[in-house]
C-alpha cells in the first residue's frame, strides 16, 4: 500500500514537473551592427485596453521605428491609434499578437494564471483571428506571431511555424508585463545591448512602467542607438 502511494506521488510529481518544463520562452536577437553604432529592435505588445501615449508620442516625435504586436480586441478599441500607425508606415511594423490574447499553449497549464488555448485547433483560431483583424485594419499580412505571455508549448511553436509565421521571442524584457516602476523600466531599457530584441507594452497608460519606457527610449536615442523593425532584419 505504501509502495503504491509513493509510486502515485512520484508519478504526479513527474507529471507536474514535465508540465512546468514543457513551456518555452524563445529568445530572439537581431544581427550585430556592422557600422559601430549599436542597433536594437523595439517590440511593443498591445494586448487589450487603450494606448499609452507616453510611448506612442515619443516614437512618432522622435521617429523611432518599432514593431507593434496587436490583438484583435485591442484593434477594435483603438481606431484613432490605428490611424496614426497607418499614417506612419515607415515607423510601425504591425504583427500578430492573437485574436483574444490567449496563450499558445496546449493542455491545461495556465501560464501566469491565464487560461491557455488548450488545443492546436484553438491555437490556429488565435493566430488566424489576429491575422484577419490585421488584414482588415491595415491591409497587410503579418509575418511574426507572439502569443500571450510569450510562453509556448513545443507543439504550438511547430503549429505556428506550419501556419507560416515566425515566433517573436526577445532578449530583453523591459517592463516585465508592465509591472515595474518607472525607474526600473527605464533602467532595464537603458541596459540594452547591440542586437537586443526588447519587449515592452504600449497598452497600459495608467501604469508607471510606461513613463520609464518612454524615458528609456529617449536615452537610447541620445546615446546613438539605431532602431530597427523586425521586418527590416533577418533575426536569429
Q: What is the mean pLDDT of residues 14-42?
A: 80
What pLDDT digit, counting tens, does each position of 174-225 carry? 999 999 999 999 999 999 999 999 999 999 999 999 999 999 999 999 999 9
Q: Encode burial over 32-54: b for 16+ CB neighbours within 10 A, e otherwise.
A: eeeeeebbbbbbbbbbbbbbbeb
Q: Which of 15-19, 27-31, 47-51, 70-74 has the lowest mean pLDDT?
A: 15-19
* DSSP letter assigned to residue 56: H
Neighbouring C-alpha atoms within 13 Å toward the C-beta of 207: 22
Contacting residues for 12 by C-beta, under 8 A, at least 6 apart: none
CA distance 155 to 99: 19
- SS3 label, residue 53: helix
Q: Which domains does the chain have, with CATH numbers?
A: 24-232 (3.20.20.370)
What pLDDT digit, counting tens, does each position of 111-163 carry? 999 999 999 999 999 999 999 999 999 999 999 999 999 999 999 999 999 99
The angle that helices 120-138 and 79-87 make with each other, rounded to 10 degrees, is 70
> Does residue 20 surpass a pLDDT of 70?
no
CA distance 20 to 24: 10
pLDDT at res. 79: 97
pLDDT at res. 234: 65
Q: Write down the pTM of the prediction.
A: 0.90
- SS3 label, residue 163: coil
pLDDT at res. 233: 85
What pLDDT digit, counting tens, does each position of 57-105 carry? 999 999 999 999 999 999 999 999 999 999 999 999 999 999 999 999 9
Decide: 189 and 36 in contact? Cβ < 8 Å.
no
Nine-digit cell string for 133: 483583424
CA distance 56 to 59: 5
Q: What confidence tier does 21 reach under pLDDT thresholds 50, 70, 90?
A: low
Nine-digit cell string for 149: 505571455
Amino acid at each position: 500500500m505504501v509502495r503504491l502511494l509513493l509510486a502515485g506521488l512520484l508519478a504526479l510529481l513527474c507529471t507536474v514537473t514535465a508540465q512546468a518544463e514543457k513551456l518555452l520562452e524563445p529568445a530572439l536577437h537581431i544581427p550585430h551592427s556592422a557600422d559601430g553604432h549599436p542597433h536594437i529592435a523595439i517590440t511593443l505588445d498591445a494586448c487589450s485596453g487603450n494606448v499609452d501615449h507616453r510611448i506612442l508620442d515619443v516614437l512618432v516625435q522622435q521617429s523611432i521605428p518599432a514593431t507593434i504586436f496587436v490583438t484583435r480586441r485591442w484593434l477594435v478599441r483603438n481606431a484613432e491609434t490605428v490611424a496614426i500607425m497607418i499614417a506612419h508606415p515607415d515607423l510601425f511594423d504591425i504583427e500578430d499578437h492573437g485574436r483574444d490574447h490567449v496563450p499558445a499553449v496546449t493542455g491545461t497549464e495556465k501560464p501566469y494564471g491565464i487560461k491557455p488555448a488548450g488545443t492546436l485547433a484553438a491555437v490556429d483560431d488565435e493566430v488566424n483571428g489576429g491575422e484577419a483583424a490585421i488584414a482588415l485594419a491595415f491591409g497587410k499580412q503579418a509575418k511574426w506571431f507572439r502569443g500571450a505571455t510569450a510562453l509556448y508549448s513545443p507543439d504550438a511553436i511547430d503549429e505556428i511555424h506550419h501556419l507560416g509565421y515566425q515566433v517573436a521571442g526577445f532578449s530583453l524584457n523591459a517592463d516585465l508585463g508592465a509591472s515595474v516602476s518607472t525607474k526600473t523600466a527605464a533602467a532595464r531599457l537603458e541596459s540594452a545591448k547591440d542586437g537586443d530584441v526588447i519587449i515592452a507594452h504600449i497598452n497600459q497608460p495608467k501604469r508607471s512602467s510606461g513613463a520609464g519606457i518612454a524615458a528609456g527610449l529617449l536615452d537610447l536615442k541620445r546615446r546613438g542607438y539605431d532602431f530597427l523593425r523586425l521586418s527590416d532584419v533577418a533575426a536569429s
